[in-house]
Chains A and B, each alone.
Chain A
Amino acid sequence: MSETMAIHLARTPAKKKRWYARWNWTGAATTLVLLILWQLCDQLGLIHFAYIPSPLQIVGGAVQLLQEGALQAAVAHTATVAVIGWAIATLIGLILGTIMGLSKTVWTWTAASVEVLRSFPSITFVPLAVLLFGFSSSMELVVVIYAAAWPVLVNTLEGVRTISPGLRDVARTFHLSVWRNIRSIVLPAAASKIIVGLRLGLNLALILALAAEVIGNPEGLGYGLTVEQQALQPARMFVYFISVGVLGIILNAILQLIVWWTLPGITALAERGRKS
């Protein structure tokens, strides 16, 4: 019965940390100290650049932009395009990646094209997309989908292709249908790689949305950034600048929370991997 005892000991569940306990408070404090230093440098005239505003000036810019409603509109636009584009890209990447990972025939036919196309930085397609779709939000969306689909597709493909042959045998001996095999074994087994793809895809979605707004579509954070830069309004420009970063952090956190809530098994497995 010593085995049972050992299991009891091994089983002591890891304490579930609350979200605020996971937060890196010391790291946040460092940021705060740096901001105060920045403000002091500016006020004491230690360092002075004509176009770098102090933190307080940026806060003033933010208040202005919020009162005008420009900031809210810009954030809403960029976030919407990035998230919708990313969601469509995820669907495309998952479906194509799974098919290419499971079917040798499809893989041999498509491998070369995939390798060539994905080696282009997605941003090179922005001018082309402007030619095809004009200075519009649909251009922005197409660019976002194109860019975000690659990491999802490539990671799904990798994950599906590297499933252990043992699991393939399990699916067969239990008579799982193709669809059940994909849902219950293939995708969960590839999940850790797929999640990496989802996160890379989300980052790219945001980057490409901004690039499209800077180059072609007169809406959103990227457009606000260029407009304020050309109007020589550094304080207002920095507001857009910081909003981009905050938006990126929030979108990533939401994705992580969704994974955490919907896929408890995958999360437990990932945490086990991190510990050992």
Chain B
Amino acid sequence: MPQRPELTAVGDLAFSCRSLSVEVSTKSGPKRLLAPLDFSVKKGEILSIIGTSGAGKTTLLRVLGGLVPPMPDSEVLAAGVPIQGPPDRVLMVFQDYASSLLPWRTIRKNVALGLETQYHGEELRDRVDAALDLVGLKARGDEYPWRLSGGMQQRVQIARALAMEPAVLLMDEPFGALDAITKSSLQDELLKVHEQTGATIIFITHDVEEAVYLGDRVLALGGVPGKIIEVLDVDLPRPRSQIMTKEMPEFLRLRHRAYESVVEAELRLRTDQ
């Protein structure tokens, strides 16, 4: 594991957010979804975000992905540049794979979606194959996504993002709709991909165990509007293993802490209301 220096230069940050807040207008006037948040994400790290529902996890991710504008007084930088629209090489992986894959395109053509204008012919084919290879779906390329199981469809979505050689993957509960076995095998695949590509990954989940298992850090959001309850450093060795890692006392300690902060967030939510 690379040493993490205490002071990180702006150039080493995938994201830096100062007083990031989000408001939406509703019938009963403006509603704040995220209280001012200050945090940053280092390049190449995996940041897990957990929290109660309604704490603005998805909103936060959509701000980072350039799909939702923050309040004007927020300072949100992606690789040092203020976010205006989706930043370059920052790609989102959505929870609802069925509605974000294009059902009229084969898997290969789905993966080619972002590459088609840049590459053609053999080059395009090679890149698509390489991305499919990363998720172990090369042999399935000519099928339609709806013929595959949920886990495989989510892999296609991940391959489609990886084909773009992303610097950052923003994943919104990507494994939330999958069964436990598929979920753990996809977790390990994601860690493998992370090792191979070095991409920064921000990963939303409501599964505390998953957050600790995958993350270099775990950020707990809570309350309405969402605030940062706690940021935990996860100093578990990599590569991680579903059995070994999850039996380590440090893992158990971190899981305990993470649960506590979610419970605390819940309590805070009740007192807020």
Interface set of A (CB-CB < 8 Å, partner B): 3, 6-7, 10-11, 164, 166-167, 169-170, 172-177, 180, 184-185, 188-189, 191, 263, 265-266, 268-269, 272
Contact = CB atoms under 8 A, between A and B. Distances in A.
Nearest to B170: A173
Nearest to A266: B104
Contacts of A6: 149
Nearest to A265: B104
Interface of B: 65-67, 85-86, 88, 90-92, 94, 96, 99-100, 102-106, 109, 113-114, 116-117, 140, 143-144, 146-149, 151-152, 164, 182
B113 A184 contact: yes
B3 to A, nearest CB: 33
Contacts of A269: 103-104, 144, 146
Contacts of A265: 103-106, 109, 144
Nearest to B149: A3
Nearest to B136: A4
A164 B98 CA distance: 11
Nearest to B163: A174
Given A169-B100, A266-B104, A269-B103, A3 B152 contact: yes
Contacts of B88: 175
Contacts of B149: 3, 6-7, 10
A180 to B, nearest CB: 7
A80 to B, nearest CB: 32
Contacts, number: 80
B117 A166 contact: no
A166 B105 contact: no
A173 B144 CA distance: 22
Nearest to B95: A166
Contacts of B140: 7
A260 to B, nearest CB: 14
B100 A166 contact: yes
A185 B101 CA distance: 10
Given A263-B104, A265-B109, 5 more contacts: A3-B149, A166-B99, A169-B100, A188-B105, A265-B144
Nearest to B166: A173
A191 B105 CA distance: 13
Nearest to A267: B104
Nearest to B85: A172
Contact of A174 (B96, B113, B148): B113
Contact of A173 (B65, B148, B151, B152): B65
A166 B103 contact: no
B99 A172 contact: no
- Which of B66, B92, B102, B164 has the most chain A CB atoms closer than 10 A to its own CB? B102
B96 A166 contact: yes
A166 B62 CA distance: 12
- Which of B103, B109, B152 has the most chain A CB atoms closer than 10 A to its own CB? B103
A10 B100 contact: no
Contacts of A176: 113-114
Contact of B102 (A7, A172, A180, A185): A185
Contacts of B144: 265, 268-269, 272
Contact of B182 (A3, A164, A184, A266): A3
A272 B143 contact: no
Nearest to B143: A11
A180 B104 contact: no
Contact of A172 (B67, B104, B116): B67
Given A11-B147, A268-B144, A272-B146, A172 B66 contact: yes
B86 A173 contact: yes
B132 to A, nearest CB: 14
A166 B105 CA distance: 16
Nearest to A164: B99
Contacts of B182: 3
A270 to B, nearest CB: 10
B96 to A, nearest CB: 6
